[in-house]
Amino acid sequence: MDSIEALRSTLLIGPELALILTGLIVMVIDALIKGKAKTELFWIALLGLAVSFVLNLERFHQVSSAFAGALSLDEFAAYFNIIFIVGAFLAIVLSKDYIAKMDLRANEYYALLLFSTSGMMILSSAKEFMSLFLGFEIMSISVYILSGFNRRSTRSSEAGIKYLVLGGFASAILLYGIALIYGASGTIFLDEIAKRFDINNPLYLAGTALILVAFIFKIGAFPLHQWVPDIYEGAPMAVTGFMSVGVKAAAFAILLRVLFEGFSQLETSWTQVLWIVSVFTMTIGNLAALTQISIKRMLAYSSIAHAGYILVGVVAAYGEKKLGLSSVLYYLFSYTFMNLGAFGVLTYLSMKGRECETLDDISGLWVKKPLTAVALGIFMLSLAGVPPTIGFFAKYRVFLSGVRAEFYWLVVIGILNSVLSAYYYLRVLVYAYMREEKVEFPSFKPISAVALTILTIGTIILGIFPFYSWDLALKAVDSFLLALQAR
């Protein structure tokens, strides 16, 4: 019976297995073939992601669990998996020309992206701490390597080492917190921990605090946000774009599961903590972004600020669970399009041996490459929350959830920060549209252009017609809340 159950569970994790097997196939074929034939591995990586995407859609129609309840294959996880797969697919498409320009080893890169995405998917489904830690490490180790992938660049090597060391500390803190919770409860399953949780037991409180610290590090929130600008700036541009959306979404996915499934009895306490974290995160991120000359570093601080906005939805879930959680899911979905698009434009404009990083690097873009300038403008306006882009609807839903939950001051601070952020986003457009050209721009690259077109159209169309994607977020949250009520 055990072997039958193991086989059934293995078949149920088809989307994750598709990525792991594709990554292994890419690595094996890479070792066996030589020459230009290796470029075909790009298409194999995309095929693996497409298969994973199709298999994942089945989870919206049939909710199940695998490995004795260790993984919950529900609509909540399926929604996040869409974010991971779409983000990885477009990141790989954007990377093809970038890898050639930077003369990097493409096939290891594709395999690492696939492995990292599979770790994110395991993380979003985890219902107990061992599966959580496994997904956490599969994702993290792959991203550490990707951060330092450009071995010819000292900045990239430095970013990889920094991320490895700091990420190692975060993993150790997470594991120590898990050990304390296990010692107090005798179980690693989140639903069982919730039933046995004793707020008078210091082991529970210490374990919860340590686990929360590890998650705050991963989402890049105050006071553990300092690593974000250095890692984002040093990592290859295409990797930075993927990290900024995938790692953040995965961290929020497991944060929601752990807080609402495992530590619900401390809801009042961690809501107060996250209220403060949200305020400092969005404020510090925006203030630091104002002074940046490097667009890459500015987007890194912007990423910190957006983590603060998303935390508004997490806090709002204390009073308005469905609306608050739905706003978090939808914000992460919209962030995938607009932030990956912004980094995608910089990736597209990078030249051989030189990344497009500073404001001067995009000066005169409107004159030389008007369509690329339009795409950049749409992404910047969406990040600023200007209608009719998807970013406006995402911010509207997050702040609405805060108002409904009566966290008025938090919403006011969030809106003021959003207004403040408009300055540095619009400054990018001033250089792109109103300044003279200072550097040479690359020639047209059709594959990268396709990815940018998809991201641009998605940012506009999903902003004008947001309700289908919003309904999908509501459906995912309904599945999550139904499971909570069934405990």
**Buried b vs exposed e over 157-188: b needs ≥16 C-beta within 10 Å?**
bbbbebbbebbeebbebbbbbbebbbebbeeb
Tell me: pLDDT of 378 over 50: yes
pLDDT tens by residue, 138-197: 998 999 888 888 777 788 888 888 888 888 888 999 999 999 999 888 888 888 888 888
Reply yes or no: is the peptide bond before residue 387 cis, omega within 30 of 0: no
Of residues 55, 57, 45, the one with CA closest to residue 88:
45
Going from N- to C-terminal start, the domains of the chain cover: 2-485
Tell me: pLDDT of 6 over 90: no
pLDDT tens by residue, 287-304: 999 988 888 889 999 999
pLDDT tens by residue, 227-269: 888 888 888 888 888 888 888 999 999 899 998 888 888 777 8
Q: Over the chain, what is the mean pLDDT?
A: 86
Give the per-residue pLDDT at 327: 92
Give the per-residue pLDDT at 487: 60
Give the per-residue pLDDT at 319: 81
Tell me: pLDDT of 443 over 80: no
Tokens 């230009």 correspond to what residue?
36
Give the per-residue pLDDT at 331: 93
pLDDT tens by residue, 456-467: 999 999 888 888
Tell me: pLDDT of 1 over 60: no
Of the pLDDT bands very low, low, confident and very high (cuts 50, 70, 90), residue 8 is low
Least confident of 100-104, 122-126, 238-242: 100-104
Stronger pLDDT, 5 or 379, i.e. the higher one: 379
Give the per-residue pLDDT at 220: 86
**Do residues 344 and 94 touch, judged by C-beta distance below 8 A?**
yes
Give the per-residue pLDDT at 5: 60
Give the per-residue pLDDT at 379: 92
DSSP string, 100-113: HHHT--HHHHHHHH
CA–CA gap between residue 440 and residue 237 (Å, rounded): 18
Q: pTM value?
A: 0.93
pLDDT tens by residue, 468-484: 888 888 888 888 888 77
User: Which own/partner pairs from 58-66 qualify as long-range (CB within 8 Å, at least 24 positions apart)?
Assistant: 59/15, 60/472, 60/475, 63/479, 64/12, 65/127, 66/8, 66/9, 66/10, 66/12, 66/13
pLDDT tens by residue, 334-368: 999 999 999 888 888 887 777 778 888 888 888 88
Of the pLDDT bands very low, low, confident and very high (cuts 50, 70, 90), residue 284 is very high
Two tokens, residue 267: 């809801």
